[in-house]
């Protein structure tokens, strides 16, 4: 797709598909600095980048995604020093940052009073979500942009996240100015989000850093969002319906009903699998990392076959399996 121009559905606008050459990366950074929207790969999923300090750019980002403005964005920066210029990192935050950055961990901390991250990007909250990605293209873009970059997952709001440039175009062609095509995102599920606003760290979103990893760094078990007392989500991505394909999703299926497609996991398929209208196996070997990496493309592929329902085999609730189960539970939740 490198260098090609694509035209959006009927809008006349076009999303430029950029490659990974120095010229293309410089062009991507120029667009960002000019307040435009540039989708790019991270080690988790593709993000739609916008200058986090530019309220107008952030407004256009919310509009492109169809995202409610009460749902704040993650500010992506290059390193701990850059993180400390926008948020207040206490001892726990610093410890987690040193342990897991660069990498798929997002920390929600109190914003610095003089933070350059726009109010709109933070949805008016006194806090800021910060992530230091490890993907070399994301890092090259951040280095050249020279400012924090807000980057939500590159899908229409509420839809399945994007792990390839083709997924980005399927959702957002004509709605973002460019996409950097850096091949498939490696991990396949989003960063883990840890809230550090109270006495104890709270896992706001399970993700690519496992609870086991967090617990061993902290020296105690991190509490999950279920332990929160209020209904108001701290991470609105925690709203029930999210990651939704068009088809209905039926979890922990031990048999396939007539007319259903099958999202399988592991070598042993359930009864009725031979009659499934379509089948994708997240990992025939039963490997959870592989399953995470294939989750969103498998959901998109099954959806393309337009089944009424996708039956999903049980996924073990351990390691990155918790993040997979979380995304599937949201895909299965009643739609807004
Ligand atoms: O892996 C990732 O984190 C990807 C890549 C592109 O970096 N980004 C991503 O962004 O997943 P998004 O916008 O799809 O999800 C960000 C989540 C949302 O659920 C949002 O509510 C939460 O982070 N969030 C952002 N700022 C927050 C804040 N100040 N307090 C609590 N939650 C926050
Ligand atoms: Mg998202």
pLDDT in tens, 133-187: 999 999 999 999 999 999 999 999 989 999 999 999 999 999 999 999 999 999 9
Any ligand 1 atom below 6 A from CB of 153: yes
Please answer whether residues 294 and 282 qualify as being in contact, where contact means their C-beta atoms are separated by less than 8 angstroms.
yes
In the predicted model, what is the mean pLDDT of residues 235-244?
61
HSE-CB at 187 with a 13 A cutoff on CA atoms is 25
Start-to-end CA span in the chain (Å): 35
Any ligand 1 atom below 6 A from CB of 202: no
pLDDT value of position 76: 99
Cα 74 to ligand 1 centroid, rounded to whole Å = 5
- Its pTM stands at 0.93
310 burial (CB, 10 Å; 0-12 / 13-18 / 19+) is: buried
Please answer whether residues 282 and 297 qualify as being in contact, where contact means their C-beta atoms are separated by less than 8 angstroms.
no
In the predicted model, what is the mean pLDDT of residues 191-214?
96
Q: What is the DSSP-derived secondary structure letter of residue 183?
A: -
Any ligand 1 atom below 6 A from CB of 235: yes
What are the pLDDT digits (tens) for 49-91? Answer: 999 999 999 999 999 999 999 999 999 999 999 999 999 999 9
Candidates 93, 100, 58; CA nearest to 75 is 58
How far, CA to CA in Å, does 170 sit from each of 101, 163, 190, 194?
Answer: 31, 11, 19, 30
Residue 272, preceding peptide bond in cis (omega within 30° of 0): no
CB atoms within 10 A of CB 152: 24
The token pair at 15 is 């999303």
pLDDT value of position 247: 86
Phi, psi of 36 (to 5 degrees): -95, 170
Residue 159, SS3?
A: coil
Ligand closest to 69 (CA) is 1
Please answer whether residues 76 and 133 qualify as being in contact, where contact means their C-beta atoms are separated by less than 8 angstroms.
yes
Q: Which helix (H) or strand (E) holds 106?
A: strand 105-111
Ligand closest to 115 (CA) is 1
């Amino acid at each position: 797709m490198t260098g090609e121009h694509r035209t959006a559905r009927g809008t006349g606008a076009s999303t430029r598909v950029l490659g990974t050459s120095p010229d293309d990366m410089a062009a991507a950074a120029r667009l960002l600095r000019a307040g435009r929207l540039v989708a790019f790969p991270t080690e988790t999923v593709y993000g739609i980048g916008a200058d986090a300090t530019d309220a107008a750019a952030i407004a256009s980002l919310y509009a492109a995604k169809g995202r409610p403005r009460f749902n704040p964005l993650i500010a992506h920066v290059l390193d701990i020093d850059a993180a400390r210029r926008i948020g207040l990192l206490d001892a726990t935050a610093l410890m987690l940052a040193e342990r897991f950055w660069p990498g798929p961990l997002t920390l929600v901390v109190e914003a610095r009073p003089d933070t350059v991250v726009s109010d709109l990007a933070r949805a008016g909250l006194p806090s800021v979500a910060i992530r230091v990605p490890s993907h070399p293209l994301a890092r090259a873009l951040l280095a050249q942009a020279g400012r924090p970059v807000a980057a939500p997952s590159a899908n229409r709001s509420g839809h399945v996240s994007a792990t390839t440039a083709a997924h980005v175009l399927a959702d957002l062609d004509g709605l973002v100015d460019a996409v950097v095509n850096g091949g498939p995102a490696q991990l396949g599920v989003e960063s883990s989000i840890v809230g550090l606003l109270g006495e104890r760290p709270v896992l706001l979103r399970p993700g690519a850093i496992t609870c086991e990893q967090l617990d061993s760094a902290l020296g105690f078990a991190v509490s999950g969002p279920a332990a929160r007392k209020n209904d108001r989500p701290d991470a609105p991505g925690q709203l029930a319906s999210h990651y939704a394909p068009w088809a209905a999703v039926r979890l922990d299926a031990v048999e396939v009903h007539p007319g259903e497609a099958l999202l399988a996991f592991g070598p042993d398929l359930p009864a009725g699998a031979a009659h499934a209208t379509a089948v994708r196996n997240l990992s025939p070997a039963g490997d959870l990392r592989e399953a995470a990496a294939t989750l969103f493309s498998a959901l998109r592929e099954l959806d393309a076959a337009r089944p009424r329902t996708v039956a999903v085999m049980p996924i073990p609730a351990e390691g990155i399996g918790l993040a997979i189960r979380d995304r599937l539970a949201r895909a299965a939740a009643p739609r807004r």
